[in-house]
């Protein structure tokens, strides 16, 4: 399946219009001739590369004749000052698309790099998941970058899976005039009977986890729950327990707390909403 979908092209076109406006008046004013130039994409710090196909598509939207030569591929570990790819074509579209292309690859490589650090800290004992805490309009791109960093995608959107969260539980309890545990039972059974998708339930304690598991939950999300509550549930649960996801403001330093637990996933919004961008530059060749 191609990464460059109509949805992706639509976003890139909008990003280009945001940056260029009606025209790049500086380049148009200064250069009468649209002669051929070459450039090199260089990374200024060690990182995991992500976003090269999007980087190239930015320029191709402006001029389908621009040519590229890749030296590395997405998902690769690249060293500081490495050449990622070369670009060759008419100067005007290259100068016009430079900033959008660099912004995208810098942002996505930052996400891939921080995700890779999270994954390394798990020592292979559980998977790292992203969340829906993404930049509006960039979810497809950011979740792609998570995969390039060795992580996995949770829901792309609300239609992909049933996830019964605190608000659902508390609102149903209020509506039905029942306690949280009863609310979890009713909502989980209601969701399972619908047979639309797997059902994940957010829980606050080992007791709520048991209630959700006994009601048929496929995945339990311990959100902002202490390690002791998770450990307590693992002691009383059977072999056929639901999968376990741990979430709630998790940063790299927190991963070690979960290494001794038999869990399946750790999800973190940090890898998308707080990843620092990687420094890239597009160096134009001026040699004869």
Our answer to whether residue 80 is catalytic in this structure is: no
Determine which helix (DSSP H) or strand (DSSP E) holds 221, and give its type and residue range: strand 219-223
- Looking at residue 152, the DSSP 8-state letter turns out to be B
The two three-digit tokens of residue 95, written as one number: 């100068």
The two three-digit tokens of residue 80, written as one number: 């500081």
Given strand 83-90, what is the order of strands in its sheet? Answer: 67-70, 83-90, 36-43, 280-284
Q: 38 near 94, Cβ under 8 Å?
A: no
Q: 265 near 230, Cβ under 8 Å?
A: no
The two three-digit tokens of residue 43, written as one number: 């990374």
Q: 65 near 90, Cβ under 8 Å?
A: yes
Q: What is the rounded CA–CA span in Å between residue 85 and residue 52?
A: 9
Q: What is the rounded CA–CA span in Å between residue 4 and residue 182?
A: 46
Active-site choice (133, 192, 243, 257): 133
55: Cβ contacts below 8 Å, ≥ 6 apart = 41, 85, 101, 102, 104, 105
Catalytic site positions: 133
């Amino acid at each position: 399946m191609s990464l460059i979908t109509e949805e992706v092209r639509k976003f890139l076109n909008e990003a280009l219009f945001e940056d260029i406006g009606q025209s790049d008046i500086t380049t148009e004013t200064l250069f009468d001739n649209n002669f051929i130039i070459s450039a090199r994409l260089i990374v200024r710090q060690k990182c995991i590369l992500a976003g090269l196909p999007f980087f190239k598509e930015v320029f191709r939207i402006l001029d389908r004749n621009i040519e590229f030569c890749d030296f590395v591929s997405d998902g690769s570990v690249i060293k500081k000052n490495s050449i990622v790819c070369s670009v060759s074509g008419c100067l005007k579209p290259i100068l016009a698309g430079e900033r959008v292309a660099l912004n995208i690859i810098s942002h996505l490589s930052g996400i891939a790099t921080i995700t890779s650090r999270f994954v390394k800290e798990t020592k292979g004992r559980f998977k790292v998941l992203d969340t829906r805490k993404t930049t509006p309009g960039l979810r497809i791109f950011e979740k792609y970058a998570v995969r390039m960093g060795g992580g996995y995608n949770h829901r792309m959107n609300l239609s992909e899976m049933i996830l019964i969260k605190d608000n659902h539980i508390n609102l149903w309890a209020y509506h039905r005039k029942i306690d949280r545990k009863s609310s979890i039972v009713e909502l989980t059974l209601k969701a399972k009977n619908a047979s639309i998708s797997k059902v994940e339930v957010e829980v606050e304690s080992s007791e709520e986890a048991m209630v959700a598991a006994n009601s048929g939950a496929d995945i339990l999300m311990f959100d902002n729950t202490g390690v002791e509550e998770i450990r307590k549930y693992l002691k009383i649960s059977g072999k056929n327990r639901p999968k376990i996801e741990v979430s709630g403001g998790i940063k790299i330093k927190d991963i070690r707390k979960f290494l001794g637990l038999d869990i399946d996933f750790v999800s973190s919004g940090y890898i998308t909403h707080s990843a620092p961008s990687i420094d890239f530059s597009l160096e134009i060749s001026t040699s004869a």
